[in-house]
Structure 1
Amino acid sequence: MTLRKGSNVWVEDRNSAWVAAQVTDFIGKQVQVVTQHGNKVLALPENLYPRDEEADHGGVDDMTKLTYLNEPGVLDNLERRYALNEIYTYTGSILIAVNPFTKLPHLYNVHMMEQYKGAPFGELSPHVFAVADASYRAMMSENRSQSILVSGESGAGKTETTKLIMQYLTYVGGRAADDDRTVEQQVLESNPLLEAFGNARTIRNDNSSRFGKFVEIQFDASGRISGAAIRTYLLERSRVVQITDPERNYHCFYQLCASGMDTEKYKLGHPSDFHYLNQSKTYELDGVSNAEEYSKTRRAMDIVGISQEEQEAIFRTLAAILHLGNIEFFPGKEHDSSVIKDEKSRSHLQMAAKLFKCDVQLLVTSLCTRSIQTHEGIIIKALDCGAAVAGRDTLAKTVYAQLFDWLVEKINRSVGQDLDSQIQIGVLDIYGFECFKQNRLVTCYLLKNNVVYGNNRLLHLLKGINKGRLLEVLLESDL
């Protein structure tokens, strides 16, 4: 960028991220600018971005039309449109949505869907229905499956956007042939169940999805919806055993602790009594009753065809995980060995074994020792307290992940899949990540010539690993 006196630029600002300014002088290697607020600021040339003085007051609906497509220009355009209640903006074929954090029913009614049905992409104002319609038309004209990626940080509105896309595809694709309920209704009916076991409070959002969800809408040759399936992946398993204040564990644990009769049956109490829940002091959500949510989760289980016996097993497993987390260890008599710490821990151990329906001594052996297969046979190695705790937590995470996968399979049986479908539209709702001083879940890494760049732990784990096994190794390591 060539700068001269009078150039219109964007300069970084502590309060507003970026602020409009104009170049007034050059002092050494720095540039002096005067902001729109009248403040004089010195900045390096590389930290300034060109600004279009003639920018449209209401912004542009497609940001490829911007004279300067840079970060401050994009943010300014989105702010201008948001001020006019325009929450959608294109960047080419990409739709950017700014969450208004309020209901806007007039934007998503049948009349609006009819407006976008068959309309060329870009002809009407930016809208999520336009993206869904373009995907449907491309599928029909090319006879090829399509995918829509919904991404953004926690609380950005990804799950709501996914629901709107399904709503539109149900509208243009018609009803399922053998069911009075639309596919959208069938999928949405399972939402309370998925949210109970897959959502949690984060610093950004009281009901944040902590797993990725790929909703596959299946169509027949005439473009009618013939089935659906939900694929889930990358459940945040670490949340089961470790949380930070003011976040929460998965909703189902708090619901179970407020369930009344089940609380007594499983020897539960207030969430503060359990290690997996009391690492954060946030036990309640504003305007949400854990007891009422427990009833809703039970009803959702009934809807998707989970029997009373199966429901009993589900909540028994959840209770066992909570008791498992309260088992503590103490150094044993032998070197690097461990034993159950005290009577309190032994009581939780016995309850966990009873709920898991396993032998108490076998559970102790699994927690305090490790079996190693060698050419000479099996060697039993004692574990120190740290390794025993790690093994306990790994067991809790694995059991919970298996339970979650089983629930998703039950949901898919309820929704109904068309295994013969040749064309589908997949909607990928990938959960958001937050930035912490310490983030145990690695969300970004670079691969180049089989060299991994990232934090030291990731580098150590993946050193020499082939790219093709990257995802498998990440899941095995449970970062």
Structure 2
Amino acid sequence: MAAPVNIIVGSHVWVEDPAAAWIDGEVFRINGQEVHVHTTNGETVVANMAKVFPKDTEAPPGGVDDMTKLSYLHEPGVLHNLAARYELNEIYTYTGNILIAVNPFQRLPHLYDTHMMEQYNGAAFGELSPHVFAVADVAYRAMINEGKSNSILVSGESGAGKTETTKMLMRYLAYLGGRSGVEGRTVEQQVLESNPVLETFGNAKTVRNNNSSRFGKFVEIQFDKNGRISGAAVRTYLLERSRVCQISDPERNYHCFYLLCAAPPEDREKYKLGNPREFHYLNQSNCYELDGVNDAHEYLATRRAMDIVGISEEEQEGIFRVVAAILHIGNVEFAKGEEIDSSVIKDEKSRFHLNMTAELLRCDAKSLEDALIKRVMVTPEEVITRTLDPVAALASRDALAKTVYSRLFDWLVDKINNSIGQDPNSKSLIGVLDIYGFESFKFNSFEQFCINFTNEKLQQHFNQHVFKMEQEEYTKEEINWSYIEFVDNQDVLDLIEKTFKNNKRFIKPKLSRTSFTISHYAGEVTYQADQFLDKNKDYVVAEHQDLLTASKCSFVAGLFPPLPEETSKSSKFSSIGSRFKQQFIHSGIWIGEKGDRFGQGKQLELKENGKSGIRIKDFYKTLADVREICHSP
């Protein structure tokens, strides 16, 4: 907040309002810490002096394009300024060198056409209206003129427009660093066309967003000495694997499933696909179509994008065989077998889908059946085969589907990177981080826990650079300034990374033994811990691995290469949490201690016990803490 202002009778102020968040009015009485206000909607409000903020009566009615121009930089002042600009379709506003974007929920093509790119090309930052192109331009100019690599962080709540903003940033960088009149697939074309491919397989409709990224993405664009794009790499994080098998109404599964069900008749016949309502992995929700989106057209657009990024016809065939197989396997159900704790294929319908899955994956149907309902244990004395009951068999089925889809997504990312190619001689690069937004749903599980933890880290980075380091610099330079209060979320990070005991940010609901609440910077979120441990597992069942490694389809077998002998014998546990941590480390997206740079765009050689680092410590310990919190096995 700005320096305290003396609020007196007659002052124009902002007070909290349950409907509008904040409403303005005039003070007509002050009684100690009680402030009596006549609001502009004709009501009388009594508020505590600490919750009353001065209104800038001289602010222009259309707002200011840079928040640093506001007389009072407090919450109601900031929100009112953004709302005033939004009413005029001004969706971008600066706060110094940070750009705030408010989702317009409509297409504004004139804001992003070639003419607009030409205007921002080389313009000084702040010279023109706030725009995402200006942010990309200043990063590019710094790289060219000063030899400085940069990263652009796109952060915000789920549905705020991060994915679209990222695409605009990449389009502008491709405009600046592209080659004119070059035949064939250029690097910049491949970089841009990688977006729709990854969105098809990594995005889905959620409650808040029709095209929600269910994975994190860091795009590293490399430039040659002339400022031309010479290579690129895409890093992805924490794909939401559970969505493959389980969705809530009115959400959807990943786009690719619906696109394939809307493919031309000859493709649907080839994969024995009909209406999406027929498939268990899709019909758990009543939502099958998106407003304004034609899945049949999107299927063809995805195939064209795959062509551009270098995915061959044969590989595309393999990709969609796998997608179809996942849909079919979701319709395989089980019934109790004759023996205790055993199961069999439920009926002829399930048998049909089992056979279709085997045909599409080019594996033996009996071997597939055994991999779903049997487990083999090898002891020094004998080989023991045990059967799974119907509930365990369903879990085995879903585990196979999630594993196959996860491997397919990883293959796509690797293929895109190999097709685009990286420039080993590049000294300059710009990174764009599009990370999942903060999430708070009716039911929140392990995915939301990881996503919100990531956002806490990004918020800490924001606080570090915008508030802490800036204010320390002012103090060091002995500049006269007013201290700006902000909510430091370090205690939330301490809660998750170190210990939950006696932390005021941790709340244990009284009526649930398997849930806990964390008071995040963006509000309280209650997590259901029931499936935390299962969702954190990151290993492939040996029977599933053996089945798919032996596939007669080279594409499927390539997703499951034979394991090294020592790995297959090892019982070392692998977790999603530890993999997530390693992805952040090895990609160079590493939020460091005070003063460290964020995402310098190169492979950072950091040791886990080094001084710098994100310190996403011991998810194992965190999960052990969750067990202790919830008193659950």
Q: Pick the TM interval, shorter chain.
A: 0.7 to 0.9
Q: In structure 1, what is the Cα distance between the partners aligned to 2:208 and 2:531?
A: 29
Deviation by residue 1:219-278 (Cα, 9 ceiling, x = unmatched): 112322212222222222222111122221112111222221222222222111111000
SS state of the match for residue 57, structure 1? coil
Distance, in Å, in 2 between the alignment partners of 1:24 and 1:332 is: 79
> 5 Å matches for 1:306-325?
306-325=311-330
2:616 pairs with one of 453, 458, 467: 467
Asked which structure has the greater RCO (Cα within 8 Å, sep 6+), the reply is: 1
Matched, 1:55 2:59: yes
Report SS of the residue matched to 1:185: helix
CA contact (8 A) 1:216 1:230 kept: yes
Contact 2:13–2:26, Cα closer than 8 Å, also in 1: yes
Q: Which runs of 5+ in 2 are unaligned?
A: 454-491, 501-505, 507-517, 519-526, 537-576, 579-614, 627-633
Contact 1:18 1:72 in 2 (8 A): yes
**Which residue does 1:343 correspond to in 2?**
348
1:256-335 to 2 correspondence within 5 Å? 256-259=260-263, 260-335=265-340
Q: 2:469 corresponds to which residue?
A: none
AA aligned to 1:32 is H
State the distance in 1 between where 2:531 and 2:107 align.
45
SS state at 2:152 partner: strand
In the alignment, which residue of structure 1 is the partner of 2:156? 152
SS of 2:249's partner is coil
Match of 1:413 among 415, 418, 429: 418
Deviation at 1:174, TM superposition (A): 4.1
The question of whether the paired residues in 2 share the 8 Å contact of 1:320 and 1:356 is answered with yes
Cross-structure match for 1:447: 493
Residues in 1 aligned to 2:618 and 2:267: alpha-carbon distance in whole angstroms: 43
Offset of residue 79 of structure 1: 1.4
Query: How many residue pairs were aligned?
Result: 474
SS in 2 for 1:11: strand
CA contact (8 A) 1:170 1:182 kept: no
1:155–1:208 Cα contact (<8 Å) kept: yes
TM-score after normalising by structure 1: 0.87
In the alignment, what sits opposite 1:173?
Answer: 177
Distance 1:150 1:106, change over 3 A: same
- CA displacement, residues 351-382 of structure 1 (integer Å, 9 cap, x when unaligned): 22222222333323332344567777766554
Distance 1:182 1:315, change over 3 A: closer
2: distance between equivalents of 1:125 and 1:72?
23
Range 387-396 or range 363-372, more displaced: 363-372
Deviates further, 413-422 or 76-85 = 413-422
What fraction of aligned residue pairs are identical, expressed as a percent?
Answer: 64
2:251–2:287 Cα contact (<8 Å) kept? yes
- 1:450 corresponds to which letter in structure 2? K
Amino acid at match of 1:320: A
Report the 3-state secondary structure (helix = DSSP H, G, I; strand = E; otherwise coil) of the residue aligned with 2:282.
helix
Displacement of 1:131 after TM fit? 0.9
- CA gap of 1:177–1:288, structure 2 versus 1, over 3 A, is closer
Unaligned runs of 5+ in 1: none
Contact kept in structure 2, 1:450 and 1:467, CA below 8 Å: no
DSSP-derived class of the 1:275 partner: coil
Cα deviations by residue, 1:427-475 (Å, 9 ceiling, x for unpaired): 112234543211232232443162255446299759x99834449999x
1:429 alignment partner AA: D
The Cα RMSD (Å) is: 3.3
Q: Counterpart of 1:247 in structure 2: which amino acid?
A: E
For 1:402, give the aligned amino acid: R
Check conservation: 2:231, 2:423, Cα contact below 8 A: yes
Match in the other structure for 2:366: 361
- In 2 relative to 1, CA 146–157 (structure 1 residues): closer, same or farther, beyond 3 Å? same
Change (3 A) 1:366 1:76: same
What's the TM-score once normalised by structure 2's chain length? Answer: 0.67
Q: In the alignment, what sits opposite 1:108? A: 112
Partners of 1:150 and 1:161 within 8 A in 2: yes
CA distance in 2, matches of 1:328, 1:32: 66
Query: CA separation in 2, counterparts of 1:391 and 1:370?
Result: 10
**1:187-266 maps to which residues of 2 (within 5 A)?**
187-259=191-263, 260-266=265-271
CA distance in 1, matches of 2:622, 2:409: 21
2:560 aligned partner:
none
CA distance in 1: counterparts of 2:373 and 2:80, whole angstroms: 58
Moved more, 139-148 or 365-374: 365-374
